[in-house]
Amino acid sequence: MRVLVTGGAGFIGSHVVTTLRKRGHEAVVFDVREDPAADVRDPAAVRRALTGVDAVCHQAAMVGLGDGVADAADYVAHNDLGTAVLLAAMAETGVATLVLAGSMVVYGEGGYACARHGVVRPGPRAVAALDAGRFEPPCPVCGADLSPGLVGEDAPADPRNVYASTKLAQEHLAAAWARCTGGSAMSLRYHNVYGPGMPRDTPYAGVASFFRSALARGEAPRVFEDGRQRRDFVHVRDVAAANAVALEAEAAPGALTVYNTGSGTPNTVGAMARALAAAHGGPEPVVTGEYRLGDVRHITADSSRLRAELGWKPAVGFEEGMTEFARAGMRGA
């Protein structure tokens, strides 16, 4: 299979390219890092790149929480306009298979249960509560403490920041393309991806990159809130493998299918920082109590659908992956 990998020179994209080639596919890299003319927002460049292609693995995106709404136009241009240009070119050239780099951020907060009211969906956390160090979202009905759980693909979307909004819009665009063309589209909603080659020292990187970059400078990782916020840290090679099996699967025509893509083992941000520091031999993390307004408290999703339907399962455990990442090289922003 000849696969165009947009963003194929980036962190996740480069691992996707490596995995595809190991599985016998021809991976074609389309990335401005390698060629300034390879801009996914350029219709002519995208049409040329699609020549002879069987499928597209769309990894190109502006990622991370960003800077409030100050860079909203850049996010929309890179993520949504870029996706729209790509899909229009795919429709024109007859390429009918798409695997999209989605994100768990489309859910907003994760799954929660109240002892009195069952499954509930808390709203955005109040600034006054965050300032007072009350980080757990309360039950929206009675205000009681909640128990965090897993969120499935059928949970309603509730994006809480600009980046999340653009990732959801990408899925809507892909669904519209699939319906209009009869093509097949899958969105892999990534959890917190980490691993070798992650970019360093950039406001758009994930929390694992922030911690690893601090350790490389000999500084203690700075953990926001109280460090007990839950995430699912999934290794980049496992994410790359998920992309490969999605491309090889017989997806339903005329529709978008979404799959949560995580390790299945929730860990706290504080535990991740401690594991990285221990493996690196660096300073112990410092819990600061600071917060970012666009962050959610807990988000860990149920990835069993991907395992059951596509036969994928993660191969890299948390301790093994963090030990490797603590010693691996990173790339520039």
pLDDT tens string 177-236 = 999 999 999 999 999 999 999 988 765 668 899 999 999 999 999 999 999 999 999 999
Nearest to 121 by CA among 105, 137, 136: 137
Write the pLDDT tens digit of every residue in 244-277.
999 999 889 999 999 999 999 999 999 999 999 9
- Contact of 2 with 48, CB cutoff 8 Å: no
> Residue 204: what pLDDT?
60
Helix (H, G, I), strand (E, B) or coil at 88: helix
Question: How many angstroms separate the CA atoms of 62 and 75, rounded?
Answer: 6
Q: How far is CA 104 from the centre of its chain?
A: 6
With contact defined as beta carbons under 8 Å apart, do 89 and 45 qualify?
A: no
End-to-end CA distance of the chain: 31
State percent of the chain over pLDDT 70.
97
DSSP 331: B
34-73 confidence digits (pLDDT tens): 999 999 999 999 999 999 999 999 999 998 776 678 889 9
Show the CA angle centred on residue 195, arms to residues 190 and 201, nearest 5°: 95
**Tokens describing residue 265:** 């083992």
Q: Please give the backbone phi and psi of residue 51, each rounded to the nearest 5 degrees, phi first.
A: -60, 125
pLDDT computed for residue 294 by the predictor: 77
Pairing assessment for the beta strands 255-261 and 184-190 based on DSSP bridges: parallel
- Among 107, 163, 190, 291, which one carries the catalytic annotation? 163
Residues of the chain by 3-state class (helix, strand, coil), percent to 5: 35, 20, 45
**Is 163 assigned a catalytic role?**
yes
Model confidence at 333: pLDDT above 90: no
Q: What is the pLDDT of residue 160?
A: 87
Q: What is the pLDDT of residue 201?
A: 72
pTM value? Answer: 0.95
At residue 4's C-alpha, the angle toward residues 259 and 36, to 5°, is: 120
Count the neighbouring beta carbons within 10 Å of the beta carbon of residue 117.
Answer: 13
